[in-house]
Structures are given as C-alpha cells and as structure tokens.
Amino acid sequence: MADNWYPIIKGNCTRCKQCIEKCPIQNMTLVNNQITINNGFECPDGCEDCKDICEYSAVSYYDGTDESIMNAFGGECHCHNHK
C-alpha cells in the first residue's frame, strides 16, 4: 500500500483495457468509458505494471512530487495560478 504512489491515466488513453487485465490486484475498472483506479492507495509502492503494458504511453504516476503531476500532464500547468 502506498500513500504517494498511484496511477494517473492520461487523455490519450484508448480504453483498450490491457491495463485492467494486467493489474495484479484488480484495481482498475472501466467506468463511464474512463479507466478508473478503484483505490489508488492500494497500489503497491512503485508498481508500474499498468504503465508497462500500455502501448500508448497513457499511464503516468503520482509519486508525491509536483514534478510527477507536471509529467502526467505534459509538463505544462494550465491552472493560471503561477506567475
């Protein structure tokens, strides 16, 4: 179980469901045509199985750092709160 490790599914996900098949703890579901993490806190620390299986580079991970969020969203922040 990890407090600072969970997947972020990016916008280029094709909903191919390969990651759902691969996840060792059945933690992913397709809900309303979106890949959804059932409980991100259940992901084992450092697990990259869903990223490894994804042919579209559509999985990134939050690891507790701002950088990991920036990476997940293409390195650009669009929140307009920064100068």
What span, in angstroms and rounded, lies between the C-alpha atoms of 59 and 56? 8
Position 7 contacts ligand SF4 (CB under 6 A):
yes
Name which of residues 9 to 28 contact ligand SF4 (CB under 6 A): 9, 13-19, 23-25, 27-28
Q: Which is nearer to ligand SF4, 13 or 72 (CB)?
A: 13
What span, in angstroms and rounded, lies between the C-alpha atoms of 83 and 62? 24
**Reduced DSSP (H G I as helix, E B as strand, rest coil) percent helix, strand, coil of the chain, to 5:** 25, 20, 55
Min separation Cβ 42 and ligand SF4, Å? 7
Position 56 contacts ligand SF4 (CB under 6 A):
yes
Residues that bind ligand SF4 (CB under 6 A): 7, 9, 13-19, 23-25, 27-28, 35, 37, 43-44, 47, 49-50, 53-54, 56, 58-59
